[in-house]
Structure 1
Amino acid sequence: MRQIGIFFGTDSSTTRLIAKKIAKAIKARHGEGVVAKPLNVNRASADDLLAFQALILGIPTDGEGVLPGKANDTDEAAWLELLPQLDGKDFSGIRIALFGLGDQENYPTHFCDAMMDLHSRFSKAGAQMLGGIDTGGFEFKCSRAVVDGRFVGLALDQHLQSLLTDARIDAWLDEVLPLLLEVCEAPVPA
């Protein structure tokens, strides 16, 4: 069985913490070998992502809807530096589920916006995107990451709704994990 890769891009600890929570929840359900250790994209390349058939990618939305990266005042490289490496790469046949962090209170008009940047980029590269959640239970004004009343991935707010995070992760995994495991369990083409 191939593993699910988990990659996140940020220089703060919150997105890394959520990536680890997701990995721990997957291990609790299916054992140690199912998921790779979460890795910050500042230590990864596009080819590292392409080594997996199933990916969980995490991103915070910095400030007013910007991607994390050096040009946007993060201390280390992040998604802003990795995304250009995706140009010309083919993610066809790869399933991707996203999680995004935002702040509904301080940035209610940009809540989890950056998740849409990943969704758009990987969709254009041929990936099958999974795991949107309903916007119910959130208190924001608008988000680029909402399509037809649903976020394009798992939206989380660790500032305002941290007590809901574990339940939201579990409900999201109920939906996306079987679809991710399906491609991990498929025979490797000769």
Structure 2
Amino acid sequence: MSVGIFYGTTTGVTEEVAEIVNNLIPNSTMHDVANGIDEMLDYDFLILCASTWGLGDIQDDWMAVIDELPNLKEKPVALLGTGDAMSFSDTFVDGLRLLYDKCKKRGARIVGFVDPSDYEFTESIAIIDGKFIGLPIDHMNEADRTEERIEKWLESLSKYLA
């Protein structure tokens, strides 16, 4: 199955996390959304990586292309959000919610929900039915847990990565 990893980054943190994901998935390809999202339909499975800025906003490069998402026609899509659970505990990975809502509206089948019990934060609109709508990563404060969390998440997505 072909895997496309699309990320937006301002400080490089989300790109660094996307590179970790890319290195763990054989034959996956990374795309910076600042260069466009035209290739999204070229892949069987998508991993979309976005950071949260300010009081719950999605990263600027994603904001510039989010209304251009193609018709995803039941395509499996997994979301990964980077955020700062210490400084922005009440909006932790909230930017994922906009991405989730837009992907759902375009027909995507969102996969890769994550139990929030392993995280310390106050509030997040990126939780639906008791689960994060994607993998939250706090690479600023918990970099030592990033790779382990990604590996565990990818195991749960193994049927899409074969």
TM-score range, shorter chain: over 0.9
Distance 1:137 1:91 in 2: 31
Q: Could you say which residue in structure 2 is the equivalent of 1:136?
A: 117
Q: Greater strand share, 1 or 2?
A: 2
Q: Could you say which residue in structure 2 is the equivalent of 1:56?
A: 47
Task: Give unpaired runs (5+ residues) of structure 2.
Answer: none
Q: Which moved more, 1:16-25 or 1:157-166?
A: 157-166
**Contact 1:66-1:113 within 8 A present in 2 as well:** yes
Residues 1:124 and 2:131 are matched in the alignment: no
Distance 2:129 2:94 in 1: 15
Secondary structure of the corresponding residue to residue 136 of structure 2: strand
Please say which structure displays the higher CA radius of gyration. Answer: 1
**Contact 1:95-1:180 within 8 A present in 2 as well:** no
- RMSD of Structure 2 on Structure 1 (CA): 1.2
Residues 1:42 and 2:34 are matched in the alignment: yes
TM-score scaled by length of structure 2:
0.95
Distance 2:126 2:161 in 1: 21
Task: Give unpaired runs (5+ residues) of structure 1.
Answer: 28-33, 70-77, 182-190
Structure 2: which amino acid aligns with 1:63?
G
Structure 1: which amino acid aligns with 2:33?
V
Secondary structure of the corresponding residue to residue 15 of structure 1: helix
- In the alignment of these two chains, the number of paired residues is 162
Q: Could you say which residue in structure 1 is the equivalent of 2:67?
A: 84
Q: Aligned residues: percent identity?
A: 30
TM-aligned CA deviation for residue 23 of structure 1: 0.8
TM-aligned CA deviation for residue 66 of structure 1: 0.7
Q: Deviations over 1:15-71 (max 9, x none)?
A: 0011110010112xxxxxx311x11101123x32122221011000012101111xx
Structure 2: which amino acid aligns with 1:20?
E
Distance 1:144 1:126 in 2: 21
TM-aligned CA deviation for residue 180 of structure 1: 4.4
Deviation >3 Å, runs of 4+: none
Q: Could you say which residue in structure 2 is the equivalent of 1:31?
A: none
**Contact 2:25-2:161 within 8 A present in 1 as well:** no
